[in-house]
A and B are shown apart, each in its own frame.
Chain A
Amino acid sequence: MLNLQAKKWPGKLREVSLGKAGLRVGGGTGLPLHTHEAAFPHRPLLALEVTDIDPPRFAPTLRAAWEGALGKPALAAERAVKEHGADLVMLHLVGVHPDRGDRSAEQAIADVGAVLAAAGAPLIVKGPGVSEKQNDVLMRVAERFAGEGLVLHSACQESYKTLAAAAVAYGHVLVAESPIDLNIAKQLNILLGDASVDLDRVLCDPLTGGLGYGLEYTYSVMERIRLAALGGDPMLSCPVICLCGEDVWKAKEVWVPEEKAPDWGETAARGIHWEVATALALLAAGADLLVLRHPEALRRVRRQLDTWFPRG
């Protein structure tokens, strides 16, 4: 048998603990999936996304998978964890957006509370996108659920101070989002450190481009981030979270009905394939936490993960 010399790196990934019970993520000491030469104390985590309101932009085949639970975040979260085997849940506060319902902080707090109770798993709370509204709502959610170890998504270079303060004051984990740009990812972490955020409480979101829509850029940046982390750069060693489902389900390929593109195959299967293919590439690039949308995609990725990282 080929005798490969194990590569030892000076650095390793940080370990971050999510939720009240402390589900851990990260900590790898080598290149992604290089289980033959490096230690991976925690398998990559898989999350499913649920939304506060009936999501206006879910493809029909995705809607079908969540039949009966769309716009019912607590029910969806319960299914995500108990039926579909998600490690954790991401509650996307779509309806907080001023143009999509303008839901209030109080409503968001009620949703978060209900989802936390129903899921019994750590929770990522994603705001409606960079804005004062997002900061305001996430700040209040953070305050109300102090100590729950929520994962707040997300702080970015232009607007990080509010959520940084929220994470510090109320003991949450913060996602630092950068636009497929290593320098910004690093700079943002330095800024967060300056704002007193403990980098052992930060996840890095390098922004995911789905298959066919920029995946190769994401892949390349993640590769760079991981190499820098392993090379010993403490400002790039936060575990990486990828919002895989979000970009995948925007792709034309998952929407076009089979009548319109007969040789593309069945629409429902196509969407799942698209998400699985993107997910596997992201895992190979070094994702530590994937957020998916389709339960069947999660099941298949899980099956693959089980072969890469045998349980036990």
Chain B
Amino acid sequence: MSRTIATAAVRGAHACVARAESQLALAIAKHGRDRAVGFEGTAYCLPVILALTGRRVEKLGELEAALREAKGWLPEVPSEKLWLPYLGSALDAGVATLVAHETVEALKPLLGVPLAAGPWLGPTPDSILREQGIKLVDGRMPGFAACVGALPDDETAEQLARDLQERNILVFMGASSNGTSMAEQLQRRGVEMSWETFLVPYGPDTSSLVHALGFACRAALTFGGLKPGGLLESREILLYNQRRVFAFVLALGPVDDEKYATAAGAINFGFPVIADTDIPEILPSGICTYEHVVSNVPHASLAARAVEIRGVKIRTLEIPIPVRHGPAFEGERVRKEDVAVEFGGKHTRAYEYLRSRPMDAVEDGKIQVVGPELADVPEGARLPLAIFVEVAGRKLQPEFESILERHIHSFLSEPMGVMHLGQRDTVWLRISKKARDAGFRISHLGTMLLHKLKNDFPAIVDKVQITLFTRGEEVEALYPEAQAAYAHRDERMGALTDESVDTYYSCALCQSYAPNHICIITPERLGLCGAYNWLDGKAAYEINPHGGNLPVKKGAVVDPVAGQWQGINDFVESASNGAFTRFSAYSMVQDPMTSCGCFECIACVLPGTGGIMIVDREYPGQTPVGMPFSQLAEVTGGGQQTPGFIGIGTLYVLSRKFISGDGGLARLVWTTTRIKERLGERLRERCAESGHVDLYEKIADERVCTELEPLIEHLAAVEHPALALGEMI
């Protein structure tokens, strides 16, 4: 912790406690120790003191005891020479300061100073807390800002208030700087301040800010089900605030000792301090989720910075584009006659490229069209396009880029009148005349992406900036970078082998339909539905640690050939409720993985051939095993281990680990033309890699035969390598 801040905070704390003591002495002299003390309309006595000490202070005598306890927490003011950089002492000083502040506030009415006067509302009664506090807890209000001091001028004050209001953030105001306060500034601007407008002026003094923390404490006690008590309980209350109440302090104007002390108090709640002046920063996180004190923030970006530092997530309910949108419009086509503008397809270069960037390199919400907009081109024009999405997030890992980028397709398919096909540099995008007439512009593609990325991936996406290039020059200029990124990702995915990681991911999403079914997803074996690969599992866990995807440590190798690990087997046993104790990643005959029902393809052993066949879901006809897909699905599915039958994702066929324990790709004797088409050249390459001459050509499909006898004859004729491998079962 910064020495300057710590020293100032401790000094300030001493001053605050001393003042509270002298005022308390005054009040006791005037009214006696039995005189009742407290705020109106609350059952929580003096809430901050209650939360932090567990004391229910109702009389001046009890307040005296509470203050004495707080005084005991005060560390010594660090001397010039002897100084241990100890965050704890400043935090203790902060807590003591809050007790002193609440004391001073509670004494005000007894000493003839009204709590509510002029613009100031004073402490919040429980009735309003119940009404408004719930919004903080259930997320309707993302957080609150405690604004300390004043802005350089009235206009800037109003701008800040509007910036915060726009984000639905509750604004508490108190204290002053340079002889005025934010509340007074707003009053001069004629801004209405009340609980209805989310602008709540507490009081003119630094001590008035304690009411904001009193509000937070009571929210925790009411809605968090927490009970006040000793130290342990107070810790719980602070933690609750840190995790759930997204509040922060805006230090506006010069920061004196008392304000430092108060800020130290707020940091105990996990509320960071964002200042517009040049005070020392405290960056590393510890108590607060991210930074503790950030300074010198320009007024125009105060609200945005604060939201980012506190990790407040704001969801946009209504995405501001002029056409309707939703998954319902996803399959929609825009026909040639209806096109207002078109990108890609066969005609122009069009690609999308999403990259992760450091937090400070992304200007959140910035959407730019570089090149002609819709209005600048004739109807039916064909333009090049680069959709360049820059994303930053505290928890964003570069490997998630491809996952987010893959979502561009579904996001851009959602607006009515927009057709999006393909991905990466095979994009084909059309905007219809109707959409254009409704006011849709190229820039709205960015709007859509911006909000969808932030709404759907709040855990990993904090900031998004989008540039839409529609001029050839710029589109070409960025293209090499995009290409390099695609290649790099593919290379990484290629290098991502089962051996190179120590953790696989489970997927239990299908358990509702197939009791006891569990998918184990490895880098080289994707989920059998084809929709989840290892990276998806990893990202899904990051996004929602309570969801259906969990990390599973491999543990010791049990069987390297069949692909069994102790950690996986243990997990499978518990996740399948004891139904299965062993899973092989690379074998379909020895302890094969279970299959739910949503497999893309079924692989099954063909007795008499030494090989297997693979049939896809769409294939309607008969197969050499004597069953069409539908019948095979009954044998394979239901979450059972059926040796010789597994459900697989189509892409697993291309994996080097494709039933590698059973002999690998050389076992494949029959499949459907659809699968061959889908895997295309890549299957050819894998066949070549397998070392068997002309393997690809030897694999039969429904054009060769659909029965076992002729298949065996065919295999013999072409000398398929499977024949030599021997029967699998």
A residues near B (Cβ < 8 Å) are 135, 139, 143, 161-162, 164-166, 168-169, 180-183, 187, 190-191, 195-198, 220-221, 223-224, 227-228, 231
Contacts and interface: CB of A to CB of B under 8 A. Distances in A.
The A interface, classified by DSSP as helix, strand, loop or mixed, is helix
29 contacts: A135-B138, A139-B134, A161-B138, A162-B134, A162-B137, A162-B140, A165-B134, A165-B137, A165-B222, A165-B223, A166-B134, A168-B225, A169-B134, A169-B225, A182-B511, A183-B508, A187-B544, A187-B546, A190-B546, A191-B546, A196-B224, A196-B226, A196-B240, A197-B225, A198-B225, A220-B515, A224-B511, A224-B512, A227-B515
Name the residue in A164, A169, A187 with the highest tally of chain B Cβ atoms < 10 Å from its Cβ. Answer: A169
A180 B548 CA distance: 15
Contact of A224 (B137, B223, B515, B548): B515
Nearest to B137: A165
B515 A183 contact: no
Contacts, number: 63
Which 9 A-B residue pairs are closest in the complex by CB-CB distance?
A161-B138, A165-B223, A162-B138, A168-B225, A196-B225, A190-B546, A165-B137, A181-B512, A183-B548
A166 B131 CA distance: 11
Contacts of B130: 143, 169
B315 to A, nearest CB: 12
Contacts of A165: 134, 137-138, 222-223
B509 interface: yes
Interface residues of B, number: 24
B578 interface: yes
Given A168-B225, A183-B548, A196-B226, A231 B512 contact: no
Contacts of A135: 138
Interface string B109-144: 000000000000000000000100010011110000
Contacts of B544: 187
B225 A221 contact: no
B509 A183 contact: yes
Contact of B512 (A164, A195, A197, A221): A221
Interface in B478-528: 508-509, 511-513, 515
A170 B182 CA distance: 36
Contacts of B511: 182-183, 224
Given A161-B139, A168-B223, A183-B508, A223 B515 contact: yes
A187 B547 contact: yes
B51 to A, nearest CB: 15
Given A187-B546, A191-B546, A224-B511, 6 more contacts: A162-B134, A165-B223, A181-B512, A182-B511, A190-B546, A196-B226
B159 interface: no
Interface of B: 130, 134, 137-140, 222-226, 240, 508-509, 511-513, 515, 544, 546-548, 577-578
Given A165-B138, A183-B508, A183-B547, A231 B577 contact: yes
A169 B138 contact: no
Nearest to A194: B546
A139 B515 CA distance: 36
A116 B107 CA distance: 44
Chain A CB within 10 Å — which of B139, B546, B578 has the most?
B546
B610 to A, nearest CB: 38
A187 B307 CA distance: 28
Nearest to B136: A165
B225 A183 contact: no
A226 to B, nearest CB: 11
A195 B139 CA distance: 12
Nearest to A197: B225
Given A162-B138, A228-B577, A169 B546 contact: no
A223 B578 CA distance: 15
Contacts of B240: 196
A270 B513 CA distance: 30
B596 to A, nearest CB: 12
A166 B222 CA distance: 9
Given A162-B138, A165-B137, A228-B577, A182 B222 contact: no
B223 A196 contact: yes
Contacts of A162: 134, 137-138, 140
Nearest to B133: A165
Nearest to A228: B577
A231 B548 CA distance: 18
Contact of A182 (B137, B226, B512, B546): B512
Contacts of A182: 511-512
